[in-house]
Structure 1
Amino acid sequence: MTSRQKVVLVLLLGAQFMVSADFSILNVAIPVIGNGLGFELENFQWIATSFALASAGFTLVFGRIADLAGRRRMLIVGMVLLVVASLVGGLANTPTLLILARVAQGLATGIVIPSAMSLLTTSFPEGPLRDRALGLNGALLSAGFTAGAVLGGVLTGVASWRWAFLINVPVGLIVIALAPIVLTESKPTQRAKLDVPGAITVSLGLVALVYGISKQGEDGWGDPVGLLSLAVAAVLLVAFVFIELRVPSPLASMRILVRPTVSWGNFGGLISFTMETSAIFLMTLYLQEVLGYSALAAGLVFAVLGVAAFLGGILAPRIIARFGSPTALVVGLLIQGVMTAALFLVDREPGSVWLVIVATSVAGFGHMVAIVAYMVTATSGLPDDEQGLATGLTSMTQQVGITIGIPILSAIASSRIHLLETTSSRQDAVLGGVTTAVLVDAAIVVGGALLVALFLRKSRLVSAPAEAPVVERAAS
């Protein structure tokens, strides 16, 4: 990398690390915030859900806007919104004001991540250099999510939960000041209008989807409000597809979406994100409810996982260079799935914690290899003016996956726990619910890996620039 590329990389990775940390930084502090501001107990979840709804629902739209309006400009807009929202959240004295701040933070994340990702992919030529940049990006996204939980706990315990908001302000101001100096503005190759009907239907459809799944996970899979939300999501997303087939300047060109590298790359990423966050949730439940660990002790168990995931992000570009990104994606998913299945063997004995440490760490390594590989697969072989859409899709995959996984597996575990509690102790019931959900998790990951391998078997996508014709031929 040139000196300028290194500076660009540090700036973009720093911005994405910050917004990734924002996703989890308040999770530990939710009870403290809720009690301090007078939230009703049943509304505690909205401190996290409001952020997720906004970030997942609008990432794709903002990725396309960045293509049209300029990626550097949109990155700065997103960082300004994040700074303002963080300041408001840090000073909030009512539940309404705090939720509005979280919604604004989610919107800022939906702007920053696709803008920074597309700037990253267009700043580095397709090949080993871009793979290395995406590997570091994937490692820091994972580290940001983990560090957010740790940092939120430390700030809440040592100072105040308000600093979990306010810490964004100085970091955001630094990015805003440096972006015009370091980053080159992108310019669209042709003038195009934003597909407003498509933007409305896909955004509202994704919001309805995330809300419906969250509601079902919270109140059970027969909840009428959740079912209605899912039905609305289905109607809106189908309408979105029909709109995209007919408008002259679609938000998401079907020409891109039907590429196997884009569609199946994102499918693999969605499976990996959804099931990894679920597995960590299930093991947190197991450690606290079955083995009796405190929240702090349970968090420390996953420290090795954080190291393994970071190592996976660092080594993923080498694996991709050797075997190609589709193969790396499949292998990463298989490692994640098999090691998640191993967690079925946990029991009430204290020694099971070592199985949790080893299995989650190896699964975390495979997960990060899969994440970097899906980012490379889903953004390669595309012209620069479509990178905003491509990276918007990968970012949307990440946000939706992180959001919907826990409600789905939580509902499966809860239903099994309630059934077993009639005949077993609380600990045995929780253990039975967790192990059942773990098997479902593992089966979905392994099944997803097999589907990706099947539908990408003819796609010989490699990263070296000399192989670019192969990329184009595979994509078509």
Structure 2
Amino acid sequence: MTTEAPPTTDAPTTRAAAPPHLSPRAKLVLFVLCAAQFMVALDFSVLNVALPVLGRDLGMSHSALQWAVTAFALPSGGFLLLFGRIGDLYGRRRLFVSGLVLFGAASLLATFAWDPASFLAGRALQGLGAAAIVPTGMSLLTTTFPEGPQRDRALGISGTLMSLGFTVGMVLGGVLTDTLGWRSTMGLLALCALVVLPLALSLLTESRTAERPRLDVPGAVTVTGGLLALIYALSTAAERGSFGGVDVPVALVAGAGLLIAFVMVESRTAEPLVSLSMLRRRTVAWGNLGGLVTFSMMSTVVFVLTLYLQDVLDLSAFQTGLVFGVQGLASAVAGAYVPRIVGRFGARRTLVGSLLGQGVFVAALLGLGTGGWSVWLATGAVSLASMCHLGAIISYGLTVTSGVADAEQGLATGLLTSTQQVGLTVGIPLLGVLATTGSDLLSGTRVVLALDAAIVLVVGVLVAVGLRERGARPQSPDGLT
């Protein structure tokens, strides 16, 4: 990479002077970018409750239904870094728009699928489109809105809508499946792409690096292959409820080997896909660790609570959706205030406080039992944990991307979104299976929640130490330090 890495962000950084309020055009640009992120987040969850109906309609066995999720997760996570860098070099708007076209066309294919193969092909192409949309959309956001109040607000809105997209998808998927059938869930995604595409073409301007270094093909092959193998192994283990079989351990070993090879390739390449100096930055390393943990552990909480509410408390799917609907509203409220908290205390302090808060409120769920009052405890605690979770999402995004030159924003946001994807994938197979492998679901749920809370709290302390200011300089509430 020919672009020189910006100076370390250990010292207080002067933020770009920009008006705190967004112009009407800037609001429209933000709407387009956030709507695309919301659409992708919606895709993560809208199909989940429709899977049994979908399987009967297309003749897919229970074991084959895992591929409805895995077929999307593999390309969407595996190609994020590569597509983020391609956007840097050849045009972020161009790749963003191409991703929207592919996502919309793939959603139509999945909507009108006539057999399992055509449906899974549509899901895989959706994932490939998402891999182009997410990193380029985030890098367009961070290059459009300068560091300071504007970027804080933009990332706050983006994080809120991403969290809402996942929650709304769980509720909306059930409603659509019951009223219009499972195909309507895929049709909704096609409609979203159709709405966003013309706005993107008319509002977004092209953005790319000034120089055009060669694409690091060996690095792209090893990191993409490693992520594909890792996500396959974890997604498959989550669906099966165990790490048994031959393919999962082989994929884990292959993924680890390819990622080790990737690090070796990057250390010897003149124009690497990922600058190792960026990975050595404290803000990038510790910020991404915080993001990985907040995503993986919160997805695990949602998974085990869904089982607990329906199988222990005998709530219906609709009532369970209402619980998570309250959670979504709480996240929306948090999204309105987190940027102000960041402006007052800084992104690093907000990240640490949010992780610790998430851990504390997840620990409160250990009081769940079999009585009706447990519904209220579950609703309140998961909503408060989600507010802290959203604070961690926003502040870790600011921590990771602050101080990064525009030429490397695609790389930084590619790392950021890869962390999100792996986080959403890794938590359930690592912890969630503990809730279902025993004979007592309530006891298993408590074990998972205890481990979940402990991991978040420990990592929160580690991030606090890792991001601690060096020397005796006072900490400045500038959103960075």
Q: TM-score range by the shorter chain?
A: over 0.9
Q: CA deviation at 1:220?
A: 1.9
Task: Check conservation: 1:268, 1:329, Cα contact below 8 A.
Answer: yes
Name the CA distance, whole Å, in 2 between partners of 1:310 and 1:406: 24
- Spell out, residue by residue over 1:351-408, the C-alpha distance to the aligned partner (whole angstroms, 9 max, x if none): 1111111110110000000000000000000110100011111111111111221122
Name the CA distance, whole Å, in 2 between partners of 1:461 and 1:19: 37
- Spell out, residue by residue over 1:47-79, the C-alpha distance to the aligned partner (whole angstroms, 9 max, x if none): 112111111111111111110111100110000
Task: Name the counterpart of 1:163.
Answer: 184
**What is the number of equivalent residue pairs in this alignment?**
456
Name the CA distance, whole Å, in 1 between partners of 2:220 and 2:156: 30
- Spell out, residue by residue over 1:179-224, the C-alpha distance to the aligned partner (whole angstroms, 9 max, x if none): 2321110131211111111111111111111122233332523443
Counterpart amino acid of residue 459 in structure 2: G
Q: Does 1:439 align with 2:460?
A: no
SS at match of 1:29: helix
Task: Check conservation: 1:321, 1:462, Cα contact below 8 A.
Answer: no
Residues 219 and 288 of structure 1, relative CA distance in 2, 3 Å threshold: closer
Name the CA distance, whole Å, in 1 between partners of 2:94 and 2:475: 32
Task: Name the counterpart of 2:259.
Answer: 237
Counterpart amino acid of residue 393 in structure 1: L
Task: Name the counterpart of 2:310.
Answer: 288
Task: Check conservation: 2:350, 2:392, Cα contact below 8 A.
Answer: yes
Counterpart amino acid of residue 30 in structure 2: L
Task: Name the counterpart of 2:465.
Answer: 454
Task: Check conservation: 2:352, 2:461, Cα contact below 8 A.
Answer: yes
Q: CA deviation at 1:160?
A: 2.0
Counterpart amino acid of residue 311 in structure 1: V
Name the CA distance, whole Å, in 2 between partners of 1:231 and 1:315: 43
Task: Check conservation: 2:84, 2:413, Cα contact below 8 A.
Answer: yes
User: RMSD value over aligned CA atoms?
Assistant: 1.5
- Spell out, residue by residue over 1:271-306, the C-alpha distance to the aligned partner (whole angstroms, 9 max, x if none): 000000100111111111111112221121222211
Aligned ranges for residues 32-431 of structure 1 at < 5 Å? 32-217=53-238, 218-415=240-437, 417=438, 421=439, 429-431=440-442
Task: Check conservation: 2:87, 2:208, Cα contact below 8 A.
Answer: no
Name the CA distance, whole Å, in 1 between partners of 2:275 and 2:455: 28
Name the CA distance, whole Å, in 1 between partners of 2:144 and 2:476: 19
Structure 1 gaps of 5+ residues are 422-428
Counterpart amino acid of residue 452 in structure 1: V
Q: CA deviation at 1:462?
A: 6.3
Name the CA distance, whole Å, in 2 between partners of 1:121 and 1:375: 10
Counterpart amino acid of residue 445 in structure 2: V
Name the CA distance, whole Å, in 2 between partners of 1:48 and 1:171: 20
Counterpart amino acid of residue 268 in structure 2: R
Name the CA distance, whole Å, in 2 between partners of 1:26 and 1:254: 38
Task: Name the counterpart of 1:424.
Answer: none
Name the CA distance, whole Å, in 2 between partners of 1:290 and 1:114: 39
Residues 77 and 462 of structure 1, relative CA distance in 2, 3 Å threshold: farther
Name the CA distance, whole Å, in 2 between partners of 1:254 and 1:105: 31
Q: CA deviation at 1:332?
A: 0.5
- List, as ranges, runs of 4+ consecutive aligned residues in structure 1 with deviation greater than 4 Å: 459-464
SS at match of 1:366: helix
Task: Check conservation: 2:242, 2:429, Cα contact below 8 A.
Answer: no
TM-score (norm. length: structure 1): 0.93
Task: Name the counterpart of 1:425.
Answer: none
Residues 407 and 438 of structure 1, relative CA distance in 2, 3 Å threshold: same
Counterpart amino acid of residue 456 in structure 1: L
Name the CA distance, whole Å, in 2 between partners of 1:461 and 1:169: 47
Comparing 170-179 with 351-360, greater Cα deviation is found at: 170-179
- Spell out, residue by residue over 1:411-442, the C-alpha distance to the aligned partner (whole angstroms, 9 max, x if none): 22234x1xxx3xxxxxxx11111101110100
Task: Check conservation: 2:58, 2:114, Cα contact below 8 A.
Answer: yes
Residues 99 and 461 of structure 1, relative CA distance in 2, 3 Å threshold: farther
Residues 462 and 5 of structure 1, relative CA distance in 2, 3 Å threshold: farther
Structure 2 gaps of 5+ residues are 1-21
Q: Give the number of the structure whose residues are more often helix, by fraction.
A: 1
SS at match of 1:28: helix
Counterpart amino acid of residue 206 in structure 2: E
Residues 126 and 454 of structure 1, relative CA distance in 2, 3 Å threshold: same
TM-score (norm. length: structure 2): 0.92
Q: CA deviation at 1:461?
A: 8.3
Comparing 178-187 with 245-254, greater Cα deviation is found at: 178-187
Q: Does 1:18 align with 2:29?
A: no
Residues 461 and 303 of structure 1, relative CA distance in 2, 3 Å threshold: farther
